[in-house]
Amino acid sequence: MTGNRGKRLNQYISDYVVFDLETTGVRPDFDEIIEISGIRVRGHKAVEEFSTLVNPGMHIPAAASKVNHITDDMVAEAPELAKALGDFLEFVGSDILVGHNIHSFDLNFVCRASMRIFGAWVANDYIDTLYMARKCLPQLSHHKLSDVAAYFHISTAGAHRALADCTMNQKCYEELGKILKQMQKTQPQIQCPKCGSEMVKRKGMYGEFYGCSDFPRCRGTRKI
């Protein structure tokens, strides 16, 4: 078993792969991936798509099908995860990954599956637009992808199918990136000395300090 999971970044970049999964549930140690999609972006423009259903080798619960509209019949002839994930990782290459809530959800599924099948973590650095949305749109009470899309008047048609969510997410990232770029002109980003992630203000028993936003994976700190 080799490698480490990539770092979470908070940047506006021009070249990346935005990706999304659909699964049988929310537990990566029990549930399975049933759809993987990605969009390659170059110069802020979508240039290539990847999308495949995945045969999970198990029944898709009705609760999952109700959300993503993927049924057992739809995945019966789909490739198994080893093939689908291998093709997806080849599509991604060394690109930075972008997605919504991927820090806590999608990457947990992908990394766990990659370790199980290939014996290695997915080491690509990544940008989670959920964290970006919380930073750039603090006025919103909720920051689900559909909430962010609605704020920017971006269509949510086809939501909860992986490729449609990728399209929505890519457009949201570009809008969030413009806000982030303006914010960073007046509020320069402080990078963690240990891992390079953004640092945020925290309060401890001895007062305020900067702590790594990737805590608890990284425990980097800095005095204010």
> 90-124, pLDDT tens digit by residue?
999 999 999 999 999 999 999 999 999 999 999 99
Q: Does the annotation mark 143 as catalytic? A: no
Domains in the chain: boundaries: 8-186, 190-224
Q: Which of 44, 103, 142, 160 is catalytic?
A: 160
Q: What is the pTM of this model?
A: 0.87
Q: What is the pLDDT of residues 170-207, one digit of tens each?
A: 999 999 999 999 988 887 778 888 887 777 778 888 88
> Tokens 């019966």 — which residue?
76
- What's the topology of domain 8-186? Nucleotidyltransferase; domain 5 (3.30.420)
